[in-house]
Amino acid sequence: MVLVVAGLFVGAVLWGVWRASQWLLQRERAWGDALGAVMAATVMRRDREQTLGVILECSLEALGGLGGTLHLVRPGAPCYLLAHAVNVVQLDWLAALPADDLLLCRSLAATGPALLPVAEVAVRWRALASGRDHVLVGMCLGRQALLVLAWPEAHEAERQLPALQTIQRYGEQVLTEFAEIDARAADIQALSASLDHQERLTRTAAHDLANKLAAAQSLLDLAGSSGCLQGEEGELVQQAQEQLSLSQPLVDELSEPGREIETEPLEVEELARLAAAMLARRRRERSVAFSLEVAPGLPAVWGERLAVLRVLDNLLSNALKHNRQQLDLRIWLRVWAESERVVFEVGDNGVGIPGEQMKQLFEFGFRADGTGRVKGHGLGLWSSRRLIEALGGWVWAESTPGVATRFCFALAAVTVQPDVDVNASRAGSVVRAEMSR
């Protein structure tokens, strides 16, 4: 008999534990379902007010509340203003909540949802809950918003407090994300305004610089045509004229950054001779061996004359200035045809470029020279790459430190369209950097 009673007792205890566990699981599932419904309804968020209004409506529907209100803090307003209401009798009663409203104060002071019977709060809240047993739950989302939900009885509201707490945390997270979006938008607007200001300054400077260059060009043309300058003085005037001509595209880029480069057929032999002549004037004070090798019968290339000359002048002058300590410096310019392309090569037997720097050669602001003896801003190769790629070409570099360095670019021959992709390859066991379109 004792065993039977003991067995019944143990069975009753186990059944009670099982029922309690099922009730807890069901309640947890209900809380999870309520939060899930709220999150699903606010996936497509538009703005704070609309999103918080959806949270209020879904919370009431999922948890069985009588009605609710949403109050927001507006800029310059000393109180919380009504933004959304569900089942409210007199909206004007709750249009604005003063700072000393009891429900508001309790909600701001609480770490979670604050529960108050209707009998304890101000008369204004009877517009939302007028029954004697009705209770209100206030949830403050930081100090930006107040959600108020009404229940018919206190025990029903208390049963939903854990679910409301999770919904409150979710609402605070939503407002935090909106604040981050606003901050990023403000940063973008500030950056945009700064860029617009910078662009106006750049265009103004480019306009003024173009006028000054045109005036200088006119004076040099007048001096060159007068016949008064002979020998070295005449050559210096001619060199200045060439440099001004190469500077004009820079001004065009400043005044019209998005302009399209117009290509035309260019004679390769003429480009090579002009580039060699510009280098000859630069190397007058140094003992530098220079060789020019142009394959016979080369086709014309698609390009812009001044743009190609700028690239050649930049590569040749780099070979000269980055090897000032080289006593037996040799510089060469070679041009040959390859796979419907014409390849220009500028090389030297100077110090070379370390392998770890090759991949960054054509990046904006990068300078391969680490001695500090060469002045510059690391824009020459970057600008050259932009020009060649804008012409439909391809530029790359090869270097064996202490032996030789070669910079090459390829342009389409007039027999093909200027925007055909280049797929050239260069043989040799050398360190290599390539920039493809």
* Type of residue numbered 320: L
Mind listing the pLDDT tens digit for each residue in 298-313?
999 999 888 898 899 8
Cβ-based neighbour number of residue 126 at 10 Å: 16
Phi-psi category of residue 381: left, alpha or beta, with phi > 0 → left and psi -120 to 50 → alpha: alpha
β-bridge pairing 289-294 and 330-338: parallel
Q: What is the mean pLDDT of residues 121-130?
A: 91
What angle in degrees, to the nearest 10, is found between the helix axes of 154-225 and 2-41? 30
Question: According to the per-residue pLDDT averaged within each range, which of 226-230, 285-289, 412-416, 420-424 is highest?
Answer: 412-416
Mind listing the pLDDT tens digit for each residue in 405-431?
999 999 999 986 555 443 333 333 344
**CA 399, CA 355: separation in Å to the nearest integer?**
8
For the entire predicted model, the pTM comes to 0.48
- Sheet of 394-400, strands arranged across: 289-294, 330-338, 341-348, 404-412, 394-400, 431-435
Q: Which residues contact 184 (CB under 8 A, 6 or more apart)?
A: none
- Model confidence band, residue 358 (pLDDT cutoffs 50, 70, 90): confident
pLDDT for 380 beyond 60: yes
Mean pLDDT of the chain: 78
Q: Which residues face 265 on adjacent strands?
A: 302
pLDDT for 437 beyond 50: no
| Local structure of 402: helix, strand or coil | coil
- Model confidence band, residue 369 (pLDDT cutoffs 50, 70, 90): low
Mind listing the pLDDT tens digit for each residue in 160-175?
999 999 999 998 998 8
- Give the count of alpha carbons within 13 A of 322, CB side only: 25
173/241: higher pLDDT:
173
Whole-number pLDDT of residue 424? 38
| Local structure of 413: helix, strand or coil | strand
- Model confidence band, residue 292 (pLDDT cutoffs 50, 70, 90): very high
Residue carrying the six token digits 């709750």: 94
Domains present along the chain, CATH in parentheses: 29-184 (3.30.450.40), 262-435 (3.30.565.10)
Whole-number pLDDT of residue 71? 95
End-to-end CA distance of the chain: 93
**CA 423, CA 339: separation in Å to the nearest integer?**
9
Q: What is the mean pLDDT of residues 266-272?
A: 93
Element (H, E) at 138: strand 135-141
375/319: higher pLDDT:
319
Mind listing the pLDDT tens digit for each residue in 31-63?
456 777 777 766 666 788 889 999 999 999 989
* Residue/partner pairs of 277-285 with CB below 8 Å, 24 or more apart: 278/239, 278/242, 278/309, 278/313, 278/316, 279/313, 279/316, 279/317, 279/320, 279/331, 279/333, 281/235, 281/239, 282/316, 282/317, 282/320, 283/320, 283/331
87/324: higher pLDDT:
87
DSSP string over 238-279:
HHHHHHHHHHHHHHHHHH-TTPPPPPEEE-HHHHHHHHHHHH
The lowest-confidence range among 238-247, 278-287, 332-341 is 238-247
